[in-house]
Amino acid sequence: MPDMSAIVIFCGATLALLLVPGPAVLYIVTRSVAQGRTAGLTSVLGIHAGSVVHVAAAALGISALLAASATAFTVVKLLGAAYLIWLGVRKLLARAGDGAEEAPAQVAGASNARLFWEGALVNVLNPKTAIFFMAFLPQFVDPHAGPVAPQIMLLGLIWIALGVASDSGYAVLAAFFATRLRRSARARRRLDVGSGVVYISLGATAALTGEPPRA
């Protein structure tokens, strides 16, 4: 399993990403504003139930890849780093209000059960989420520390736990701040710049310091 220092670094990187609102947060915020705090928190649970599916898929896929070829695993890690850098550059170049990343369409009044399953489906059916986990999680995996799949699952569960805490905070505060945030081009631009810097830093660090696995 990853050592404690790697887990601490992973937690820091995860929090840096989670604290910058993305499409899932916008979805949660709109639910909280439209139907109240409970609806927002229910949507948080649904979103991260969907994350479990992506983490499991990443664990199986990356483990199979490493078993097939250590070189292929290294290539995937480098492609993942490049993908993170590309996300950062796109954020930095985005124009405020260009609609590059919007929350899923809002559906008026829904039951808690519907909100949960809708949130789960929104996340499960989002290919960008699958690609992100495949790019991000391997950067913190050490093939010499034991089987890869349990490492991916552990990192994924840590991500989900931190994500539930972070997104729940947004849901609780949404009624007070969401409308102003979503309508402020300046605020959204600052968020784009902040998230862009975070993505580029993570990708560059992974690309420059990643150690290829030994065959």
Dihedral of alpha carbons 91, 11, 44, 165, sign:
negative
Range of the domain at 161: 4-209
Query: What is the per-residue pLDDT for 168?
Result: 92
97: left (phi over 0), alpha (psi -120 to 50) or beta: left
- Has residue 210 got a pLDDT over 80? no
Between 166 and 121, name the one with better pLDDT: 166
Helix axes 37-68, 23-35, angle to 10 degrees: 160
Contacts of 198 (CB under 8 A, 6+ apart): 16, 17, 20, 88
Q: Is residue 116 part of a domain?
A: yes
Q: Is residue 214 part of a domain?
A: no
Summarize pLDDT for 148-164 with one digit per residue, the tens: 888 889 999 999 999 99
Q: Is residue 151 part of a domain?
A: yes
Summarize pLDDT for 90-127 with one digit per residue, the tens: 767 766 544 444 444 444 456 888 889 888 887 787 66
Q: pLDDT band at 174, cuts 50/70/90?
A: confident
Question: Would the pTM of this model clear 0.85, i.e. be above it?
Answer: no
Query: What is the per-residue pLDDT for 149?
Result: 85
Summarize pLDDT for 40-62 with one digit per residue, the tens: 899 899 999 989 988 988 888 77
- Has residue 83 got a pLDDT over 80? no
Number of domains within the chain:
1
Q: Is residue 185 part of a domain?
A: yes
Q: pLDDT band at 181, cuts 50/70/90?
A: low
* Amino acid (1-letter code) at residue 41: L
Q: Is residue 157 part of a domain?
A: yes
Asked which of 2-16, 21-35, 186-200 is least confident by mean pLDDT, the reply is 186-200
Q: Is residue 215 part of a domain?
A: no
Q: Is residue 56 part of a domain?
A: yes
